[in-house]
Amino acid sequence: MIPSTLTIAGVDPSGGAGVLADVKAMSALGAYANAVIAALTAQNTQGLTGISPVDPDFIKLQIDTLFNDVRIDAVKIGMLGQQPVIRVVSDSLAHWKPKHIVLDPVMVAKSGDHLLEKAAINEMRESLLPQSTMMTPNLPEAGVLIERRPAETVKEMYGTAEKLHRLFDHNDERWVFLKGGHLPGKECTDLLYNGDRMIEMPALRIDTKNTHGTGCTLSAALAALLPQTADPVEAAKAAKQYLYKAIARSHELDIGSGHGPVHHFHQWWKPLSK
């Protein structure tokens, strides 16, 4: 059966991040994608110029209406922005209880613009994160969640992953996917940890500025793949490999003059011959 997935996130008009990127990634990986709009943004590859929130009651209506009719096998949560929105999403998912929830704790855009209010961080940490199957913070986001400075080495990432997993109340069915893209050097090592197994996933850094929406794409890929395998490790490695290839072929798109998007359909779209 083809998995039916849901992204709850904001809209990036340029299509590189947010629900548009999520729908592309989920579709490319064999899932039927649904979307609930949690925020509107004005942005492009160069930066963010505005955010317009969506009324929390209408977000709840979107979620309830969808779940009342459509089977949802996995949910990816992205940019929510405000404490009332996080609360209503958390309450709604606690009611509907989807099997897989992938939480991308979006706090800062690629441009450096803040996307999550400070007052909302505790709400995410206390109500939404404990329900999640897997969280996918980058190093700055992980630092905010555990109230420590961001890790600067792979060794320090081990300690960060352990502290993050304690937010799951030591549940070994929950996973931390800690992204190491902010580390210096030629390698980007991610960690996968469930309180028992610590798995390093290294990769060579790709020399490109086209990294807009990488976090959105990874978490959406995980939501698409988790229902298709009984092994979260297999799903994580496949999601990372998909993203790696999407970054490697991002130059084929030529979108915008800033941080361009990754190539979500790299395995389907063939470069035009000259």
Cα distance between residue 103 and residue 107, in whole Å: 12
Q: What is the pTM of this model?
A: 0.95
CB contact at 8 A, 178 and 104: no
| pLDDT score for 190 | 97
Which residue of the set 216, 217, 240, 260 is catalytic?
216
216 belongs to the catalytic site: yes
246: containing domain: 4-252
258 belongs to the catalytic site: no
Which residue of the set 10, 16, 215, 260 is catalytic?
215
Q: What value does the mean pLDDT take over residues 76-81? A: 93
Q: Which parts of the chain are beta strand (E)?
A: 4-11, 32-43, 48-53, 74-77, 100-103, 134-135, 175-178, 190-193, 198-201
pLDDT value at 214 more than 80: yes
215 belongs to the catalytic site: yes
Q: What value does the mean pLDDT take over residues 54-75? A: 98
CATH, residue 112: 3.40.1190.20
| pLDDT score for 108 | 64
Q: For residue range 24-51, list pLDDT tens digits in order.
A: 999 999 999 999 999 999 999 998 899 8
Which residue of the set 18, 78, 180, 213 is catalytic?
213
- Order of strands, edge to edge, in the sheet holding 48-53? 48-53, 32-43, 4-11, 74-77, 100-103, 134-135, 175-178, 190-193, 198-201
Answer whether residue 219 is part of any domain.
yes
179 belongs to the catalytic site: yes
45 belongs to the catalytic site: no
Answer whether residue 273 is part of any domain.
no
Which residue of the set 211, 217, 240, 260 is catalytic?
211
Q: Which of 259, 262, 228, 226 is nearest to 242 (CA)?
A: 262
155 belongs to the catalytic site: no
Which residue of the set 24, 76, 179, 240 is catalytic?
179
Q: For residue range 89-105, list pLDDT tens digits in order.
A: 999 999 999 999 999 99
Our count of domains for the chain comes to 1
Answer whether residue 262 is part of any domain.
no
